[in-house]
Structure 1
Amino acid sequence: MLEHILKVLKQIEKEYDVKILYACESGSRAWGFPSIDSDYDVRFIYVHKKEWYLSIDQKRDVLEVPKHDKLSIQVDKLLDLNGWELAKALRLFRKSNPPLLEWLHSNIIYYQGSSAINKMKELESQIFSPTSGIYHYLKMAKGNYRDYLNREEVKIKRYFNIFRPLLAARWIEMHHAFPPIKFTQLVEDNLPTREIKLVLDDIIMLKKAGEVLDPNPRTELINHFVEAEIDHLEKYAREVSVNKSDPTELLNQLFRETLEEVWG
């Protein structure tokens, strides 16, 4: 699949007249628990030629292949690619956007062809906002938990969609830094009870096998833990505050340097 992914990335560059700076995995494969039929969720950052930016009109700043943007070659049905143009990515980076930071922290990197990504990583400590991160992951955990409660039959993926953001928010509270992508690392460093860890160990095994989990007596254990953590993290999020200096000029300089590096 790696060879196919690199071929598709090269074709995107050719057909859309861009340069891809970075491409990584962002889904369950990066989290460490893909199932048999898991998609490849490839996320990338790209840059246009200088002339593209010298326009009075705002232009589309995303590429979604093959969902909305087509290629002349066949794209594997398990492959989903979503890319953000560099200026858009840097604006989101300035806001400490968690999905973008997840891309930068991915442990599966398919391609990196510019110094821009390393420069962004060097700036992360100056830009990362614990408040933004906790609210993002809390909103995700709460929404997925409400959805989970309304189901008689629970897909394994729903458990991960609750626990992964919840444990990511706990990590931010503990370390004041962006959380790791690997789910097992979040589990090892965050879970306070052996009972919850055993539940998640079972769920990981079932997820990899592509199973569905019927409700069972452990559900109340999960409910109690999740509700208590949501309550605690909501209180913490209201209290935490970190002042950061405006990074705009640093990011403007990074953008200009990247255009020069890529296109000359």
Structure 2
Amino acid sequence: MKERIRQELNEIEKNFDVKILYACESGSRTWGFSSEDSDYDVRFIYIYKKDWYLSIDQRRDVIELPVSNLLDISGWELTKALRLFRKSNPSLFEWMYSGIVYYEQYSVMEKMKQMIEKVYLPAASLHHYLNMAKGNVRSYLQGDEVQIKKYLYAIRPVLACQWIEKYKTVPPVEFSLLLEKMIREGVLKNEIRQLLTRKMTGEKLEAGHKVHVINDFLDSEIERLLVYTKSLAVKKEDPTPILNQLFRETLDEVWEN
């Protein structure tokens, strides 16, 4: 599959006349609760030639390939990625710190990591994760019978919020690390571990009876975090000048030859 992914990335460069700067896995395989039949979710950042940027018209800044069996590939153009970086978009941070990197070329990703302290807005990331958790609870975890798999997709953003609250840094991608650091030993942690084991061994985890200890945790933490977010400052010195400079440096680095 890795070879197939690299071939697909090579074809993207040829067909769209771009250079891919970075490509990684995202989603359940990097979170650590994938099963053998989980999809591959490949995400990448790319850059066009200089003339593409010298236009009065705005153009599409996303490349998406048709989803095939087990493989979903899409990417963001670099200026789009940098605008999302400026907003502390958690999805982009998860790409940056993915434990599965398929391709990395040029210096841009390392420079972005070096800028984290100047750019990162804990409040913005926390709001994103909190909304994700609320959406999963509201859509899948109400009533006596729930979508069991969705517990993991609600727990993870809540734990990410707790990490941000405690450390004020980008939360780790790995679910197991969040679980070990954020939840003390006891009934709740054991229930979550059991769900994680069932998911990773390939059990479908579809409709089933509500796990009350997990629902209680999610409801109480979401309510508490909603109050906490109101106390967070959301402003920081505007990083736009340094991101503009990073874009220009990358454009020269990639296309100078």
TM-score normalised per structure 2: 0.95
> Counterparts of 2:122 and 2:142 in 1: how far apart (Å)?
31
> Counterparts of 1:206 and 1:220 in 2: how far apart (Å)?
18
Worse-matched range after superposition: 90-99 or 177-186: 90-99
What is the deviation of 1:231?
1.3
User: Contact 1:153 / 1:213 at 8 angstroms: preserved in 2?
Assistant: no
The match for 1:175 among 160, 167, 173 is 167
> Counterparts of 2:178 and 2:141 in 1: how far apart (Å)?
23
Q: Secondary structure of the equivalent of 1:239?
A: coil
The match for 2:193 among 201, 215, 237 is 201
Q: Secondary structure of the equivalent of 2:35?
A: coil
**Deviations 1:172-200 (CA, angstroms, capped at 9, x unpaired):** 00100010000000000001341111011
**Partner residue in 1 for 2:66:** 66
User: Contact 2:39 / 2:71 at 8 angstroms: preserved in 1?
Assistant: yes
**Partner residue in 2 for 1:244:** 236
**Partner residue in 2 for 1:24:** 24
Task: Structure 1: state its 5+ residue gaps.
Answer: 68-75
The match for 1:111 among 103, 112, 117 is 103
User: Contact 1:45 / 1:89 at 8 angstroms: preserved in 2?
Assistant: yes
- Percent of pairs with identical residues: 53
Q: Secondary structure of the equivalent of 1:185?
A: helix
User: Contact 1:156 / 1:207 at 8 angstroms: preserved in 2?
Assistant: no
Q: Aligned in 2, Cα 1:226/1:150: closer, same or farther, shift over 3 Å?
A: closer
What is the deviation of 1:215?
3.8
**Partner residue in 2 for 1:136:** 128
How much is the aligned-residue C-alpha RMSD, in angstroms? 1.5
What is the deviation of 1:34?
0.8
**Deviations 1:144-186 (CA, angstroms, capped at 9, x unpaired):** 0112234665444301111010100000001000100000000
Which residue identity does 1:81 align to in structure 2?
Answer: I
Q: Aligned in 2, Cα 1:244/1:151: closer, same or farther, shift over 3 Å?
A: same
Task: Structure 2: state its 5+ residue gaps.
Answer: none
What is the deviation of 1:210?
2.6
Q: Secondary structure of the equivalent of 2:52?
A: helix
Q: Secondary structure of the equivalent of 2:228?
A: helix
**Partner residue in 1 for 2:82:** 90
**Partner residue in 2 for 1:73:** none
Q: Secondary structure of the equivalent of 2:20?
A: strand
**Partner residue in 1 for 2:177:** 185
Q: Aligned in 2, Cα 1:190/1:120: closer, same or farther, shift over 3 Å?
A: same
**Deviations 1:65-119 (CA, angstroms, capped at 9, x unpaired):** 124xxxxxxxx52110110000111111111111111111111111101100001
Q: Secondary structure of the equivalent of 1:179?
A: coil
Q: Aligned in 2, Cα 1:214/1:155: closer, same or farther, shift over 3 Å?
A: closer
> Counterparts of 1:111 and 1:152 in 2: how far apart (Å)?
45
Is structure 2 residue 211 aligned with structure 1 residue 234? no
Aligned positions, number:
255
Q: Aligned in 2, Cα 1:77/1:213: closer, same or farther, shift over 3 Å?
A: closer
**Partner residue in 1 for 2:45:** 45
Q: Secondary structure of the equivalent of 2:211?
A: helix
What is the deviation of 1:243?
3.9
Q: Aligned in 2, Cα 1:35/1:151: closer, same or farther, shift over 3 Å?
A: farther
Dislocated runs of 4+, deviation >3 Å: 150-156, 213-216
**Partner residue in 2 for 1:161:** 153
Which residue identity does 2:159 align to in structure 1?
Answer: L
User: Contact 1:29 / 1:40 at 8 angstroms: preserved in 2?
Assistant: yes
TM-score normalised per structure 1: 0.92
Worse-matched range after superposition: 132-141 or 145-154: 145-154
User: Contact 2:43 / 2:73 at 8 angstroms: preserved in 1?
Assistant: yes
What is the deviation of 1:214?
5.6
**Deviations 1:207-229 (CA, angstroms, capped at 9, x unpaired):** 0123226644x722112111111
